[in-house]
Structure 1
Amino acid sequence: MADIDVQHESELPPDDYTMGDVIFWIVGILMIPLVPILMVTFLTPTSGM
């Protein structure tokens, strides 16, 4: 029974994320699809940049 209690307690600490961490990860994940789009728009010769 003591082993089950120790396992249950070890699962709780990953819930200690702050809102800043959550927002940081969500923004980072949403930025991944934008990388190829920005590369195509800014690095093609016909973009005029």
Structure 2
Amino acid sequence: MRLLSDIAWIILLTITPWWLFERLLLSDCERAVCKRLEALKDGKGD
């Protein structure tokens, strides 16, 4: 069952346009990372 889900993910990722994938997921991740870095620079870390 695990193998099937892995194969499904691979197929999904290969047919998904990378620019769309990056725009949807990485932009959010980058924003979160940037906010965290700015907070650390200001000394307001967790």
Higher alpha-carbon Rg:
1
| TM-score, with length taken from structure 1 | 0.34
| TM-score, with length taken from structure 2 | 0.35
More helix by share: 2
